[in-house]
A and B are shown apart, each in its own frame.
Chain A
Amino acid sequence: MIAIDTIQETAERLMEKAAIEIPQDYLDGLRTMADTEDGDLSSFVLQAMLENYEAAKQDRRAMCGDTGCPRWYVKMGNEARIEGGPIALEAALRRATAKSTNDIPLRPNRVHPLWRTDHDNNVGIGAPEIEYGFEPDGEWIDLVTVHKGGLFGTDYRMLFPSDGIEGIKRFFLDSLVAFGKRGLACQPAIIGIGLGGSKDTCMVLGKRAACLRTVGSRNSDPRIAAMEDEFKELGNSIGMGAMGFVGKSMVVDCNIEVGYCHTGGMQMSVHAFCLSSRRAVARIHADGRVEYRTDPEWFTDYQRRETVEWTPPQSLSKSA
C-alpha cells in the first residue's frame, strides 16, 4: 500500500524539479545545437539559455517566468494499491499543484476560459489534467509532471492516405514556419508528431510524443525511427534558429507516435515542447522508496501493443 502522504510530498518535489531543473537529455541536445549554430543572433540566444539553466539551478528559481500549465501523468503497475484509492490520489495531486504554485512560486496561469477567474493556484475545472496508464507488473506508481508552456506551436489537421508522406512533410513545415517566426514556438523545441488515432487521440499522441519522450529516444518501429531522423533534419534546414533569427536550431529532436485510425483518414498533430521543457518523474514503490528520474519511459511495448488475446472463429471453408 502506497501512503497518500508520500504521494503528495513526492508530487510537490516533482513540481519544483520540473520548474527549475532542465532535464539532462534536453540540456545535452541544446549544447550540441549551440556548438554547431552559426547564426550570430541565434547563437547569442542559445548561450543565454545555457546561462539561464545554471542561474535557475543555483538560485532555485523557476527557469522561465511562464511556468506553463502543470499536468500529471500517472502510471500504475497492475499490483499497485494506493491509500484512499484513486480519489485520494487525485486530491493529493491537486493539493500539491496548488501548494507548489504558491511556494516555488509558479505563475498562476490557469483561468476560466470565459470569465477569466484565476484562483491563483493553477487549479480549476479540469485543471490540472490527470491522465493514466497501466503496466502489467509491479506494485509501484510512476508520477510524471509536465508543465507545458506555450500558446503557439501546436496544430492539428485531417490528412488522407492520398496526401502521403509529402503531405505530412508539408504540414510539419507549415507548423514550424508559422510558429517559428519571431520564436513564438520558443524553439529549439522537442517536436512531437501524432499520426492516426481519432482527432482527440491524435492530439494526445502528439503531445505525449513531445512531452513524454526524451531527446535522443527513437520509436521502436525502425521505419518510424528513420522518419524521426529525417524530420529533425528537415526542420533544421528551414534556415530558422532560436527566436526566429537566421540559423539552424529549430528542432532539438522529433518524436513520432502513431495509433490505428479510420481506413479513409490520416490524422496528424504537431506539438512543440519548448526551451524550458519542464518534466520530472518519480517512481514510488510499495515500501515507500522514491526514485527520481527525468525519462517518463511512457511508451513501453505494452503502451504500443497492437494485438489482441483472442482467436478468430475458425472458418469452415478454410479447413475444408
Chain B
Amino acid sequence: MDTAPKPQQVRLSTTPSRADLEALKIGDIVYLDGLLYTAREGVYKKVCEEGSDLPLDLPAESAANFHCSPAATVNPDGSFNMGAVTATASFRFSKWIGPWIERSGARIIIGKGGMTSKDYREHFVPNGAIYLTTVGYGTGALLGRGIKQVKAVHWNKELGLAQAMWVIEAENMGPFIVDGDLAGNSLFERENARIAANLDKVYEGTRPAVLRRFGETDDRSDEVIG
C-alpha cells in the first residue's frame, strides 16, 4: 500500500551532529544512545514562564527531550526503580516548545503523535531540531529495556513524580520513528492526507446529527437545530 522506499534503521546519539540529523527522513526507525531527560508542562512552565535555572548543563549533557512520565519510584535509599516508559501526546506543549528549544538547545524532541508541521517549520527547522515519535503507543516495556541507568530526578518534590525531570542513560533505546525531519516534513500529516482521500466513501449513508453543537459551528447566533 505504501510506495515509499523502505525506511532505514539507525542508531543516533542524544547529542547528535547536524550531519547525523540531516541523514534522517520521515519514516526512518531510530534507536537512541546517551543521556536524555523528561520534560513536559510542569518543567516547561517552571523554566519558560517562571525563569527557573536548568538543573543540568543543556545541551552539552543531552539534546534529547522526552515528553514522558515514567512508571517509576524513588526508593528510600535514594535509588530509582523504573519499569516502563512511554511518551505522552506532544501537541499540548505547542505553546512552550519554541521557547524551550531555544532555552535548552534541544535537537531531538521525543513524544507521542508528533506536532504540527507549522510547529516544525517555526520552531524546529530554524533550530536544527527533529521530532521522534514513540511506536504503538505502548512499547513501554521495550523502551524500558533501553534504560541503562536512571541518573537523577529533579524537581520531583515540587512537581510530583509524573511531572519531574528524569535524567536517563539510554542504550539502543527504541524503536522511535522520525515524524519531523530537518526539512519540516511531517509523517503523520502525509498519512492523514492519504487517508482523507477515502473518507467521503466511508461516510456514505451516514447523516449529520439532528442537534448540532457549538464547535461544529462557531456562529453563536446559530440555533444548532436541524
Interface residues of A (CB under 8 A from B): 38-41, 44-45, 48-49, 51-53, 55-56, 59, 61-67, 102, 104-109, 111, 116-118, 120, 151-152, 157-160, 162-164, 166-167, 169-171, 173, 177, 181-184, 186, 234, 237-240, 242-247, 274-276
- The minimal Cβ–Cβ distance linking A35 to chain B, given in whole angstroms, is 15
State whether the Cβ of B214 lies closer than 8 Å to any Cβ in chain A.
no
Contact A157–B207 (Cβ < 8 Å) = no
Instruction: State in angstroms the CA–CA spacing of A275 and B137 once bound together.
Output: 7
Name the residue of chain B whose CB is nearest to the CB of A63.
B141
Which of A104, A184, A238 is close to B83, meaning CB atoms less than 8 Å apart?
A104
Contact assessment for A167 and B71 in the assembled complex, using a CB-CB cutoff below 8 Å: no
Cβ contact within 8 Å between A61 and B84: yes
Q: Using known A-B contacts A66-B86, A166-B206, determine if residue A59 contacts B195 with beta carbons closer than 8 Å.
A: no
Contacts of A105 in B (CB 8 A): 71-73, 81-83
Name the interface residues of B129-146: CB closer than 8 Å to any CB of A.
Answer: 133, 135-145
13 A-B pairs with C-beta separation under 8 A: A39-B2, A52-B142, A62-B141, A63-B141, A65-B85, A65-B86, A102-B73, A104-B83, A108-B161, A152-B89, A167-B206, A170-B203, A238-B199
Cβ of B209 and Cβ of A167 under 8 Å apart? yes
Given contacts A52-B138, A245-B191, A247-B1, 10 further A-B contacts (CB under 8 A): A56-B140, A62-B141, A64-B86, A64-B136, A65-B70, A105-B71, A163-B209, A186-B137, A238-B195, A238-B198
Cβ A157 vs Cβ B114 within 8 A: no
The listed residue with most A CB atoms (<10 A of its CB), out of B29, B72, B83, B89, is B83
Size category of the B interface is 35 or more
Instruction: Check A40–B1 contact: CB distance below 8 A.
Output: yes
Minimal beta-carbon separation of A14 from chain B (angstroms): 17
A55 touches B202 (CB 8 A): no
Q: Find A275's partner among B70, B73, B88, B136 (CB 8 Å cutoff).
A: B136
> In whole Å, how far is B106's beta carbon from the nearest beta carbon of chain A?
20
> What is the distance, in angstroms, from A52's C-beta to the closest C-beta of chain B?
4
Q: Do B188 and A65 have beta carbons less than 8 Å apart?
A: no
The answer to whether A63 touches B84 (Cβ under 8 A) is yes
From residue A311, how far is it (CB to closest CB) to chain B in Å?
A: 39
CB of B27 within 8 Å of the partner chain = yes
Contact assessment for B71 and A237 in the assembled complex, using a CB-CB cutoff below 8 Å? no
User: Quick one: which of A41, A62, A234 contacts B71, CB cutoff 8 A?
Assistant: A62
Chain B: residues with CB nearer than 8 A to chain A? Answer: 1-2, 4, 6, 27, 29, 68-73, 81-89, 91, 112-114, 133, 135-145, 160-163, 175, 177, 187-188, 191-192, 194-195, 198-199, 202-203, 205-211, 213
CB distance from B101 to the nearest CB of A (A): 20
Give the residues in chain B near A274, CB-CB below 8 Å.
138
Q: Decide: B2 and A40 in contact? CB cutoff 8 A.
A: yes
A41/B205 contact (C-beta < 8 A), A105-B72, A238-B198 known: no
Question: DSSP majority for the A interface?
Answer: mixed
In the complex, the 9 A-B pairs of residues with the closest C-beta atoms, listed nearest first: A65-B86, A118-B160, A170-B206, A56-B141, A65-B140, A182-B113, A62-B84, A166-B207, A64-B138
B140 and A246 contacting across the interface, CB-CB below 8 Å: no
Who on chain A is nearest to B69 by CB? A107
How distant is the Cα of A158 from the Cα of B213 in the complex, in angstroms? 10
Query: Which of A44, A62, A66, A104 has the most B CB atoms < 10 Å from its CB?
Result: A66
Question: A246 with B195: in contact, given A61-B83, A67-B71 (CB under 8 Å)?
Answer: yes
A264 to B73, CA, bound (A): 51
Chain A residues near B213 (CB-CB < 8 A): 157
Q: A55-B142, A107-B71, A109-B162 are in contact. Are A183 and B195 (CB under 8 A)?
A: no
- Write the nearest CB–CB distance from B135 to chain A, whole angstroms: 5
- Chain B positions within 8 Å of A246 at CB level: 1-2, 191, 194-195
Contact A171/B209 with A65-B68, A239-B202 known, Cβ cut-off 8 Å:
yes
Q: Which of B163, B188, B210 has the most CB of A within 10 A?
A: B210
**What's the minimum C-beta distance from B185 to chain A, rounded to whole angstroms?**
15
Chain B residues within 8 Å of A45, by CB: 135-136
Instruction: Please indicate the chain A residues that have their CB under 8 angstroms from the CB of B87 in the complex.
Output: 65
User: What are the residues of chain B within 8 A of A52 when measuring CB–CB?
Assistant: 136, 138-142
Q: Report Cα–Cα, A118/B27, bound state, in Å.
A: 37
Residue of B nearest to A61 (CB): B83
